[in-house]
Amino acid sequence: MERIGFNELNPRIPLPDAAAEEASNARWSQVAKPLKSLGALEDLVTRIAAVKGQARFSIKRRALAVMCADNGVIAQGVTQTDESITALVAADLAKGCSSANLMARVAGCDVIAVDVGVKNPPAVEGIVNRRIAPGTRDFTQEPAMTREQAFAAVWAGIDTAEELAGKGYELLLTGEMGIGNTTTGAAVTAALLGVPPERITGRGAGLSSEGLERKIDAIRRGFRLHGPNPADPLDVLSKLGGFDICAMAGLFIGGALFRLPTVIDGVISAVAALAATRLCPACKTAMIPSHMSSEPAAERIFDALDMRPVINAGLHLGEGTGALCLLPLLDMAMSLYDGLVFADIGMEAYTPQV
C-alpha cells in the first residue's frame, strides 16, 4: 500500500457489517443450547462475523506475528537481562522452538518472527526483515526514535498485515519480543492515559523492588526530558516507545483495513492497541481481546478500550502466548456455532424470558 498518513487511512477501514452481525446473532439463537450460555465467547464470534462481513466464516488459517526489537532504555538497569535475549528468542521463534511455537502447535497457528529492530539480529533463516534500526535509543537521554522512524515502524506492521492477508490467513494474533518493553509500554501508557508512571508500571519479567524503582524513575526522567504530547500519539511513540509497539499498532490498523480480526495479547500488545486507536480510531472494531495481563497497566488500558478479555489467569509470558490461549476457546465456540441447531434435534428454540 501507499504510505499515507493515518488520518487518511481511517476512512478506508470497513465499518462492522451490521447485517452479518444480525445474522450471527440469529444463528446463535438457533444453536441447540440455552441462549447466551457461552457468554463472552458468543460475543467474540459475532464480533468476528461483523469484521469479516459474513455470518458464516472460517478462522482455521491463523498467524501469530511476533514483532522483535530492542530498547535502549535498558541502559538504565530496568531489566534483569540484556538485549542478547531478544536475539536468542527471535532465533528460537524462527526455528520453531520458543514457548510461543510450542503453544501454537496445539492451537493450530503459524508463527512469524518479524525483526523490526533487533540490535544484534541472529543469522537464522525464517525471520522476516522489516528492520527500522538496530534498536531504539535510551529515552532518558534522547528520543527513543525519530518521528519518521515511528511512522515507518507502524507501516511495517500494516505491511505485515497486508502480506498475511494476501497469503489467505483468516485471523491474526499479535506478539512481541523485546527486552525492556514493559518499560516502554508503561511509559507510552502513562503518556496516552495521563496516569502517573508509578500507578501502571509493573515488574515485567521478575524485576526486584529496587529494579522497579529504577524503572519508574527512568520513565519520569523521560517525561521531564521530552514532554510527550498525548494528543499526538506518534509523538508519544517516537519519544518513549519501541519499534515492536509501533509495529503491533500497525498490525492492528492493517488487520482492520483487510477485514482480519486481530487478537490482542498481553500488556505490550494492549499498549499497541491503545496507540493504534489513537492513530486510527476505526481500527478498534477489528480488535479481539484475549487475556488480562498481570501487569498493572493492563486493566487501565482495557478500560480505555472499553473491552473485557475473557481469560484472567495472571499470564505475563509475552510472545503472543496469551493470544494463543484464546484460540482453543474460540474453536470450541465455533464447533457449536457451526453445529446442531434446534431443528436438527426436534426441539423448539429457547426464547428470551423477562
- Close Cβ partners of 296 (under 8 Å, ≥ 6 residues apart): 199, 200, 201, 202
Among 162, 198, 319, 348, the active-site one is 319
**CA distances for 261 relative to 151, 157, 167, 287, angstroms:** 23, 14, 15, 6
Contact (Cβ atoms closer than 8 angstroms) between residue 221 and residue 75 = no
Q: Which stretches does DSSP call E strand in the chain? A: 62-69, 110-117, 128-129, 171-177, 262-264, 287-289
Q: Is 319 a catalytic residue?
A: yes
Q: Hey, how many other C-beta atoms are within 10 angstroms of the C-beta on 232?
A: 14
Q: Hey, how many other C-beta atoms are within 10 angstroms of the C-beta on 115?
A: 26
Pick from 251, 2, 249, 271: nearest CA to 112: 251
The Cα–Cα gap between 217 and 59 comes to 44
**Phi, then psi, of 303 in degrees rounded to 5:** -65, -45
The Cα–Cα gap between 74 and 187 comes to 13
Active site residues: 319
